[in-house]
Structure 1
Amino acid sequence: MAEKKNLIALGFEGSANKIGVGVVKLDGTILSNPRHTYITPPGQGFLPRETAQHHLQHVLPLVKSALKEAQISPDEIDCLCYTKGPGMGAPLQVSAVVIRMLSQLWKKPIVAVNHCVAHIEMGRIVTGADDPVVLYVSGGNTQVIAYSEGRYRIFGETIDIAVGNCLDRFARVLTLSNDPSPGYNIEQLAKKGTQFIDLPYVVKGMDVSFSGILSYIEATAEEKLKANECTPGDLCYSLQETLFAMLVEITERAMAHCDKKDVLIVGGVGCNERLQEMMRIMCSERGGTLYATDDRYCVDNGAMIAYTGLLAHAYGMSTPLEESTFTQRFRTDEVLAVWRQGESSEANGHTIGSS
Structure 2
Amino acid sequence: MRVERGKRTISLGLEGSANKLGIGIISHSSPAAPPTILANLRHTYHSPPGAGFLPKDTAAHHRAWIVRLVKRAMQQARVRPCDITCISYTRGPGMGAPLQAVAVVARTLAALWGLGEGGLVGVNHCVGHIEMGRAITGASHPVVLYVSGGNTQVIAYAAHRYRIFGEALDIAVGNCLDRFARALCIPNDPAPGYNVEQLAKQGGGILVDLPYAVKGMDCSFSGVLAATEIIASRVLSPEGMEVDGKRVTPADLCFSLQETAFAMLVEITERAMAHVGATQVLIVGGVGCNERLQEMMGSMAHERGGSVFATDERFCIDNGIMIAHAGLLEYNTGVRGSIEGSFTTQRFRTDAVYVGWRGRDG
Superposition TM-score tier, normalisation by shorter sequence: over 0.9
CA deviation after TM superposition for structure 1 residue 50, in Å:
0.4
Structure 1 match to 2:309: 291
CA deviation after TM superposition for structure 1 residue 316, in Å:
1.0
Structure 2 match to 1:56: 63
Out of 8, 11, 30, the position equivalent to 2:10 is: 8
- Between the aligned partners of 2:8 and 2:51, the Cα distance in structure 1 is 44
Moved more, 321-330 or 25-34: 25-34
Which runs of structure 1 show a deviation greater than 4 angstroms over 4 or more consecutive aligned residues? none
CA deviation after TM superposition for structure 1 residue 238, in Å:
0.2
CA deviation after TM superposition for structure 1 residue 320, in Å:
2.2
CA contact (8 A) 2:270 2:300 kept: yes
Out of 108, 116, 119, the position equivalent to 2:126 is: 116
- Between the aligned partners of 1:181 and 1:69, the Cα distance in structure 2 is 26
DSSP 3-state at the match of 1:147 = strand
CA deviation after TM superposition for structure 1 residue 4, in Å:
4.3
- Between the aligned partners of 2:266 and 2:294, the Cα distance in structure 1 is 10
- Between the aligned partners of 1:265 and 1:288, the Cα distance in structure 2 is 14
- Between the aligned partners of 2:312 and 2:224, the Cα distance in structure 1 is 27
Q: What is the TM-score when the length of structure 2 is the normalising length?
A: 0.93
Q: Does 1:273 align with 2:291?
A: yes
Q: Deviations over 1:154-182 (max 9, x none)?
A: 00000000000000000001101101000
CA deviation after TM superposition for structure 1 residue 45, in Å:
0.5
Q: How does 1:163-242 map to 2 (within 5 A)?
A: 163-193=173-203, 194-226=205-237, 227-228=239-240, 229=242, 230-242=248-260
Q: How does 1:1-355 map to 2 (within 5 A)?
A: 3-4=5-6, 6-26=8-28, 27-108=34-115, 109-193=119-203, 194-226=205-237, 227-228=239-240, 229=242, 230-342=248-360
Give the letter for the 1:79 counterpart: C
- Between the aligned partners of 2:82 and 2:361, the Cα distance in structure 1 is 31
CA deviation after TM superposition for structure 1 residue 224, in Å:
3.7
CA contact (8 A) 1:5 1:25 kept: no
- Between the aligned partners of 1:82 and 1:280, the Cα distance in structure 2 is 33
Please give the root-mean-square deviation of Cα atoms over the aligned residues, in Å. Answer: 1.1
CA deviation after TM superposition for structure 1 residue 225, in Å:
3.7
CA contact (8 A) 1:135 1:265 kept: yes
CA deviation after TM superposition for structure 1 residue 66, in Å:
0.5
Q: Deviations over 1:154-212 (max 9, x none)?
A: 00000000000000000001101101000000000001112100100000000000001
CA deviation after TM superposition for structure 1 residue 3, in Å:
2.7
Q: Deviations over 1:310-331 (max 9, x none)?
A: 0010011012221101000000
Give the letter for the 2:16 counterpart: G
- Between the aligned partners of 2:139 and 2:329, the Cα distance in structure 1 is 17
CA contact (8 A) 2:235 2:250 kept: no
Structure 1 match to 2:31: none
CA deviation after TM superposition for structure 1 residue 236, in Å:
0.2
- Between the aligned partners of 1:311 and 1:222, the Cα distance in structure 2 is 48
CA contact (8 A) 1:4 1:314 kept: no
Q: Deviations over 1:112-146 (max 9, x none)?
A: 10000000000000000011000000000000000
CA deviation after TM superposition for structure 1 residue 217, in Å:
1.1
The 1:254–1:177 alpha-carbon spacing in structure 2 relative to 1, beyond 3 Å, is: same
Give the letter for the 1:38 counterpart: Y
- Give the gaps of 5 or more residues in structure 1: 345-355
- Between the aligned partners of 1:330 and 1:88, the Cα distance in structure 2 is 12
Q: What is the TM-score when the length of structure 1 is the normalising length?
A: 0.95
Kindly tell me the number of residue pairs found equivalent between the two proteins. Answer: 344
Structure 2 match to 1:349: none
- Give the gaps of 5 or more residues in structure 2: 29-33, 243-247
The 1:89–1:182 alpha-carbon spacing in structure 2 relative to 1, beyond 3 Å, is: same
Give the letter for the 1:336 counterpart: Y
Q: Deviations over 1:232-267 (max 9, x none)?
A: 000000000000000000000000001001000000
Moved more, 149-158 or 100-109: 100-109
CA deviation after TM superposition for structure 1 residue 95, in Å:
1.4
Give the letter for the 1:9 counterpart: S
